[in-house]
Amino acid sequence: MSDLIDNIDAKILHLIQSDAGLSVSEISEQVGLSSSPCWRRIKRMEEMGIIKSRVTLLSREKLGLDFEVFVAVKLSLPNRDNMEKFEKAVARMPEVVQCAVVTGAVDFMLRIVTKNMHAYEDFLREVLLSIDLISDVQSRIVLRQSKDTTAIPLNLISNAVPRL
């Protein structure tokens, strides 16, 4: 387990990453603390940066944004300046919901969400490929998500969190 958190902290984190809308009293009841110590633990973990934010997850499908693509991007010259320029450009693209620098034959993996194939093609041609730094793009269209979670595997740092 991490030196930063104990088993009770891990239980709190497990609960709030499953449902950020839980009240402090609901969390404290489930971890066996009174509300004040539970609230202090949550605040401490926020101040430490362990809890980065609390968000609401939206249904892409219900919003009509159910076309998802993983895109491997190779830069022409992958030096530090070009990688930073690419990352800054990608940060301004709302369609790109994730961007990771990776090892191997490509430099970046992007996760892109759009309305449909035509919207993706427009994005690819008009936005992504307008970046002069790119030498190759390989798209992988997602047919179906078999697992989609934002949860961090807390069981790897604490025995208090059950393996689900």
Q: What is the pLDDT of residues 9-32, one digit of tens each?
A: 999 999 999 999 999 999 999 999
Q: For 98-110, how does the pLDDT look when each residue is reduced to its tens digit (9 = 90+)? A: 999 999 999 999 9
Task: Name the least confident of 7-21, 81-95, 129-143.
Answer: 7-21
* CATH 3.10.20.30, applies to 67-141: no
Q: What is the mean pLDDT of residues 31-45?
A: 96
Most confident residue range from 14-23, 47-56, 120-129: 120-129
- Please provide the CATH number assigned to the domain covering 7-56: 1.10.10.10
Q: Return the domain boundaries, the chain.
A: 7-56, 67-141
- The residues, any chain, with a CB within 8 Å of residue 73's CB and separated by 6 or more, are 86, 106, 107, 108, 109, 110, 128, 134, 136, 137
Could you tell me if 47 and 14 are in contact, meaning their C-beta atoms sit under 8 angstroms apart?
no
Q: What is the mean pLDDT of residues 45-65?
A: 93
Q: What is the pLDDT of residue 158?
A: 72
Return d(Cα 158, Cα 160) in angstroms, integer.
5
Computed over every residue of the chain, the mean pLDDT equals 93
pTM: 0.85
Q: What is the pLDDT of residue 162?
A: 64
Helix (H, G, I), strand (E, B) or coil at 86: helix
- The residues, any chain, with a CB within 8 Å of residue 109's CB and separated by 6 or more, are 70, 71, 72, 73, 98, 99, 100, 102
Helix (H, G, I), strand (E, B) or coil at 131: coil
pLDDT higher than threshold 90 for residue 2: no
Place of tokens 């110590």: 37
Cβ of 124: how many Cβ atoms within 10 Å? 18
Strand partners, 125: none
